[in-house]
Structure 1
Amino acid sequence: MIVLKGISASPGIAIGKVLLYFDESEREAVPSYKIEFHEIESEKQRLELAVESAVDELVEIKTKADGIVRADDGSFLDAHLLMLTDVGLHDKVHREVEETLLNVESALLKVSNQIIAQMNDSSDSYLKERALDIQDVARRLLSHLMYKERKSLEHLTEDVILVTNNLLPSDALVMDKVHIKGIALNGGGRTSHTAILARSFGIPAVLALVSVTSNTLDGKYIIVDGYTGEVIIDPDKKTIDQYEIKKREFQKMESELLTMNQLPAETKDGKLIHLKANIEVKEEVDSVLSHGADGIGLFRSEFLFFRSGDIPSEEEQLETYSQILEMLKGKPVTIRTLDVGGDKLIPKVTGGYEEKNPLLGWRAIRFGLHEKKLLKAQLRALLRSSIFGTLRIMFPMVSGIEELDAVLEILKEVKEELRAEKISFKEDVPVGIMIEVPSAALTSDILAKKVDFFSIGTNDLIQYTIAIDRGNEKVAHMYEPFHLGVLRLVKLVVENAHKEGIPVSMCGEMAGDALASVILLGLGLDEFSMSSFGIPRIKKIIRSVSILEAQELVGTIMEMKSFKDVDKYTTAYMEEKFGIKSFK
């Protein structure tokens, strides 16, 4: 029995037999041979014919996809069509044929591998995931050049768990959604097209497993846990039985919890808590609504930029923001302005700027204040979209009053411009900031006088408070939400906000952690924002306790000296009171 840990890309548990899938162009070596000078033109012509056939094939796939998936889920096909017809790509392959006198298959493989390597060498996760699109297009062309029929996942005859190196987006789009019960990939990331499609189809998926294909065989049993990101290969009967029980428990819990959708997240003594969802793309709105969210507490607008790899225009942004607001039908939507830099680089946006300490450098609101034109275009689109629903604007990583004053001045300028142009927008759109750095938490009494709400971003707040790079495997184990330094900062932020009469939300991973839920209640949090799938379980916990009970728990743990003591005590408390193991 082998246990692998990857990235949870789509929730759920799947147990079944492995279908080990490799595209034929992966299995078979691409031919490489010398050609004569007079054959160069015919090789170029072979490429053009392969392009024509590949375009026809993609158009057919696009036609099949209509009505099966949302238009945006299949939008990458348009990008693939553009890549296939990209003159620049053709020219590079032509030059390679001319300079090396090698056949066109070999030239195409070399050129595409160079592009993919450049993307994979980037520190930008978006570029790494887009490398898969180049791979998809190159394989499609190679299949036509080599006259090989691509193996299809479209019509299967039995239930399987799909295990492969990297599922190409075009294959994911047309795969058999009935018989493929789970997906386990060596590569991929949570924002890849494949991950988005898996969530859209409701298929449990774990990505970035690195070695899953080399550790399993066709027909072997495998377990995919889309909640924890674990994959268990060749599990013994005891483990299978445990996961069958876990699967039934989750399904039962999900069904039971979803019956609470219309009930408020209200404590036993009448304190109403708002539970909202974090989203990255508008395709997630259906899940937000189906899981009973009170709105969207964080829309990460940078994924608009990630998906195109470019700077979307004001009109393009307006279209997306207004669509999300309309889909929420009056429920509040908090949209965070562009949060790039650090570990989130977009070449067309951030350029080739390199930093020794990117997480401490040119990122988030600092980037926005420097790139004022870009920020103003986004604020214009946001304000214009406000007439379509209930919008809240949020600025990321504000470290002090100077940055807040600067960004509020820009917002004021944008409003004046829109008024002068007689463009409609709501004047009273609430404006808030994320509390992500200790300096903001420690001066939250000053900042609270200037904004309408706070949202605590615990992912960064914990990182900066304890000085832990959560991406560094040597110290990641020290990333601890229950560190007393973190809990004291959260308590301070909430107290300072409430003195000024403004609410406090939390949109970091800690907000969706069932183990932390009662502590956060006791610290006075007004709103939790998390993955939509976590909302029902947090709602059940909130409805099962009183504020007084939560405050008593906080009073006890705040007297402790070690996060280990806090963790041990809280785990025992939650297990006794809620049977927390059934939630994990």
Structure 2
Amino acid sequence: MKEMTGISASPGIAIGTVMLVRDEHQSVPQYGIAVHQIETEYQRFLQAVERAIEDITSLKKTAERDLSQDELNMLDTHLLMLNDPDLNDQVYSSLTEELQNVEYILSTIMQGLIRKLSQAQDDYLRERASDFHDVSKRIMNQLLYRGSRNLAHLDEDVILVCHELMPSDAIAMDKLRIKGIAMDAGGKTSHTAILARAFEIPAVLGLGQITQSAEDQATIIIDGTSGKVILNPDLKTKKEYQQRQRSIQKRDVQLMKLNELPAETKDGKLIRLKANIEIPEEVDAAIGHGADGIGLYRSEFLFIRPGGLPDEEEQFLAYKHVIQAMGNKPVTIRTLDLGGDKLKHNMKEFSSGEKNPILGWRAIRFCLAHPEIFRTQLRALLRASAFGNLRIMFPLISGLGELEQSLQILGDVRQELRSKGHSVADHIPAGIMIEVPSAAMISDILAKRSHFFSIGTNDLIQYTVAVDRGNENIAYLYDPMHPGVLRFLKMVIENAHKAGIVAGMCGEMAGDPLYTMVLLGLGLDEFSMSSFGIPQVKQIIRSTSIVEAEEFVGRLMEMDDCNDIEHLLRTTMEEKFDITDFRR
């Protein structure tokens, strides 16, 4: 038996047999060519590209009914990459300069590009390297006449174990037969992770050497909640996980019965529970878990794909799809939260080369500096507003000036669209994310110009306690129960209520049941989280009164030490709700 720990990408437990898919480690041949062979090698490359294009086109045709518009768009992006004249020029130029075979030339070019992306500071940009790897692999397979294992049509249930699941493979995989995923590479924001969560497939990524340790047809346990993978478990361990799996399934069945019931406290306060999504296919999971709406639709997914920035029509169709799918329920779409560094592979002229982009030119700052990008997105959003209940949210607002400027541009775009005869909803609430300490400190001022607040605790906590969560040496200091964080949350919520607007939260803290009672006691009106977290948070809300939550928070606010607060919180929640597996 061997236990490995990776990144928890999609919760749940899966027990089954390994389907091992190793990357082709066949070495790329290298040999010199004569000048008169350059044209022959280049034609081999063009023919391989053409066959790769045919493969993707065929995949689109055979699986079109089962793919979302976003997945089809991703395949289209890969087709654009394969048709990229810049790649052709690079290959031809390198063939001429280096006089090496085309397989070696292609491998060198792509490895250099993938290496640059993989070393980027930003998670999204690093994980986009898989798109280039995907396209490179397809061309190389054609050049070397290598096949690949078909994941689209399987005859039995399996646990997929692989080094990295290429985006085109992920969207075409047999989602009914693949019961779990374990990968060497990948992170929480990778396409594989997003799809795994959308289809409720337990997944652990970033395991490093799982493909070297696993054997085809061996027994494996995936614990997507804790991030553990167990190879060849002994009988006792397997029985323990089977029991846990049954308990989770039983609990989920009970919790799903709450779908049609409101998230209402015992003393009658109604709380709105909404879902965070990144791609349109997550809407079904949101509806299936009883979400009261979409509290955060991250629009970045459209922008981080290679192939150029999305135009107005592409954005409009994506936003319209989600808004229509949710019916009358509100859909809050956050405007672009990416910095110039994250757009390097799309639009190099927007690259700022910042040393610390997390504290730099990103989100609303970037959009205000590039109004052509901002206005295009706002036009698409306002056009989509005619098809449902849209709310627009501006990220990383740090002062009143940014908010005023954003609202001015929004108003100008609305007037422009109406003058051209476009239908736009009469009232579209425009709110802001509170994720910067300066915004929390002046939340009384910002509340007067906002229709709602949504607290982004991921960044707010990080900035408040000055902790880089990616730094393992100090990650322990990232603590939602820090007295400074609690005071900020209390201040923001109180200032929102004084101004008569709703205070919500869309950070990870909102979806962690450990903190539900605390957030209730602080007065939070709306919680937005991963769809899977909604039923358990709802159960806690329906089992709690505002009075007892406020009393509990009062005790916590009087305490000085993070560890003491954490101990009292965890002890109270485990005793009150008889749940011992609260996430941390």
Q: TM-score range by the shorter chain?
A: over 0.9
Match of 1:99 in 2: 97
- Give CA-to-partner distance per residue, 1:420-445, whole Å, 9 cap, x none: 43433223211211111222212212
**What aligned pairs does 1:265-284 form with structure 2 within 5 A after superposition?**
265-284=263-282
Match of 1:335 in 2: 333
Match of 2:573 in 1: 574
Match of 2:296 in 1: 298
Q: Which runs of 5+ in 2 are unaligned?
A: none
Q: How much does 1:542 deviate?
A: 0.4
Distance 1:445 1:377, change over 3 A: same
1:153 paired with 2:151, answer yes
The residue matched to 1:105 in structure 2 has which SS? helix
Match of 1:312 in 2: 310
Q: How much does 1:20 deviate?
A: 2.4
Measure, in 2, the Cα distance between the counterparts of 1:413 and 1:220.
61
- Further displaced range: 55-64 or 260-269: 55-64
1:253 paired with 2:251, answer yes
Q: Aligned residue pairs: how many? A: 582
Distance 1:297 1:372, change over 3 A: same
CA contact (8 A) 1:465 1:486 kept: yes
CA contact (8 A) 1:165 1:187 kept: yes
Measure, in 2, the Cα distance between the counterparts of 1:40 and 1:577.
74
CA contact (8 A) 2:4 2:229 kept: yes
CA contact (8 A) 1:65 1:173 kept: no
- Give CA-to-partner distance per residue, 1:441-499, whole Å, 9 cap, x none: 12212222221111111111111111111121111111000111111111111111111
Measure, in 2, the Cα distance between the counterparts of 1:85 and 1:402.
43
Match of 1:525 in 2: 524
Q: How much does 1:32 deviate?
A: 2.0
1:401 paired with 2:389, answer no
CA contact (8 A) 1:9 1:189 kept: yes
1:437 paired with 2:407, answer no
Match of 1:10 in 2: 10
CA contact (8 A) 1:457 1:507 kept: yes
CA contact (8 A) 2:81 2:307 kept: no
- Give CA-to-partner distance per residue, 1:163-192, whole Å, 9 cap, x none: 111122333344444443211111123343
Measure, in 1, the Cα distance between the counterparts of 2:571 and 2:282.
34
- Give CA-to-partner distance per residue, 1:300-357, whole Å, 9 cap, x none: 1222211356332223222222221111101011111111229855554682212233
- Give CA-to-partner distance per residue, 1:379-415, whole Å, 9 cap, x none: 2222222221111111112122232222222223333
Measure, in 2, the Cα distance between the counterparts of 1:263 and 1:328.
18
Distance 1:361 1:114, change over 3 A: closer
TM-score normalised over the length of structure 2: 0.94
Which amino acid in the other structure matches residue 5 of structure 2? Answer: K
The residue matched to 1:67 in structure 2 has which SS? helix
The residue matched to 2:148 in structure 1 has which SS? coil
Q: How much does 1:246 deviate?
A: 1.9
Which amino acid in the other structure matches residue 531 of structure 1? Answer: S
- Further displaced range: 319-328 or 213-222: 213-222
1:487 paired with 2:483, answer no
Q: How much does 1:158 deviate?
A: 4.3
The residue matched to 2:274 in structure 1 has which SS? strand
Measure, in 2, the Cα distance between the counterparts of 1:87 and 1:447.
48
CA contact (8 A) 1:277 1:532 kept: yes
Match of 2:425 in 1: 426
CA contact (8 A) 2:128 2:304 kept: no
CA contact (8 A) 2:434 2:455 kept: yes
The residue matched to 2:493 in structure 1 has which SS? helix
Match of 2:122 in 1: 124
CA contact (8 A) 1:522 1:553 kept: yes
Q: How much does 1:91 deviate?
A: 2.8
The residue matched to 2:304 in structure 1 has which SS? helix
Match of 1:83 in 2: 81
CA contact (8 A) 2:20 2:216 kept: yes
Q: What's the % identity of the aligned pairs?
A: 55
Which amino acid in the other structure matches residue 16 of structure 1? Answer: G
CA contact (8 A) 1:126 1:346 kept: no
**What aligned pairs does 1:355-370 form with structure 2 within 5 A after superposition?**
355-370=354-369
Which amino acid in the other structure matches residue 285 of structure 1? Answer: V
Match of 1:211 in 2: 209
Distance 1:177 1:380, change over 3 A: closer
Distance 1:423 1:119, change over 3 A: same
Which amino acid in the other structure matches residue 13 of structure 2? Answer: I
Q: How much does 1:200 deviate?
A: 4.3
Measure, in 2, the Cα distance between the counterparts of 1:419 and 1:44.
52
Match of 2:391 in 1: 392
CA contact (8 A) 2:154 2:174 kept: yes
CA contact (8 A) 1:306 1:346 kept: no
CA contact (8 A) 1:310 1:348 kept: yes
Which amino acid in the other structure matches residue 93 of structure 2? Answer: R
Match of 1:498 in 2: 497
CA contact (8 A) 1:163 1:212 kept: yes
- Further displaced range: 157-166 or 335-344: 335-344
Match of 2:134 in 1: 136
- Further displaced range: 215-224 or 387-396: 215-224
Measure, in 2, the Cα distance between the counterparts of 1:118 and 1:395.
30
CA contact (8 A) 2:219 2:231 kept: yes
CA contact (8 A) 2:53 2:79 kept: yes
1:30 paired with 2:28, answer yes
CA contact (8 A) 1:73 1:197 kept: no
Measure, in 2, the Cα distance between the counterparts of 1:185 and 1:330.
39
Q: Which runs of 5+ in 1 are unaligned?
A: none
TM-score normalised over the length of structure 1: 0.94
Q: How much does 1:127 deviate?
A: 3.2
The residue matched to 1:16 in structure 2 has which SS? strand
CA contact (8 A) 1:125 1:344 kept: no
Distance 1:96 1:456, change over 3 A: same
Measure, in 1, the Cα distance between the counterparts of 2:109 and 2:401.
48
Please identify runs of 4+ aligned residues in structure 1 that moved more than 6 A: none
Q: How much does 1:555 deviate?
A: 1.3
Q: How much does 1:2 deviate?
A: 4.4
Q: How much does 1:374 deviate?
A: 2.3
Distance 1:82 1:412, change over 3 A: closer
Distance 1:315 1:265, change over 3 A: same
Match of 2:467 in 1: 468
- Give CA-to-partner distance per residue, 1:4-32, whole Å, 9 cap, x none: 33333333211223232214xx2322222
Distance 1:364 1:171, change over 3 A: closer
- Give CA-to-partner distance per residue, 1:113-148, whole Å, 9 cap, x none: 222222223223333223222222222222222223
Measure, in 2, the Cα distance between the counterparts of 1:554 and 1:580.
20
Match of 2:535 in 1: 536
Match of 2:558 in 1: 559
Quick one: which of 62, 71, 92 aligns to 1:64? 62
- Further displaced range: 516-525 or 98-107: 98-107
Measure, in 2, the Cα distance between the counterparts of 1:541 and 1:579.
11
Distance 1:369 1:171, change over 3 A: closer
CA contact (8 A) 2:4 2:207 kept: yes
CA contact (8 A) 2:343 2:351 kept: no
Which amino acid in the other structure matches residue 124 of structure 2? Answer: Y
Measure, in 2, the Cα distance between the counterparts of 1:282 and 1:82.
22
Which amino acid in the other structure matches residue 552 of structure 1? Answer: E
